[in-house]
Amino acid sequence: MFDGFWQNISRYPRYFISIVLGIFLNAFAPLAPLFKRPVSAIALISVFIGLIVFVTFTLRAMLGIDPI
């Protein structure tokens, strides 16, 4: 009944990693052509940095974490 149980369980991390990589590749593949021109690359990087800063400040305010 439990033949190959641990072998089957050991496949789940690999499956999880492949699913996450597939999601990231499909999400960021349309943005790849924007990195070919310097102006659009700088704008895209600025948007990413701004998004990260916005999420960081929002989470700090929601969780009540004091600024550094």
Contact 41, 34 (CB under 8 A): yes
Instruction: Break the chain into its structural domains and give their ranges.
Output: 5-63
Using the predicted structure, report yes or no on whether residue 67 has a pLDDT greater than 80.
no
Longest dimension (CA), the chain: 61
What tens digit of pLDDT does each residue of 41-55 get? 999 999 999 999 999
The pair of structure tokens assigned to 56 is: 């960081």
- E strands, the chain, in order: none
The pair of structure tokens assigned to 62 is: 């929601």
* Spacing of C-alpha 7 from chain mean position: 28
The whole-model pTM stands at 0.62
CB-count burial class (<10 Å; 0-12, 13-18, 19+) for 44: middle
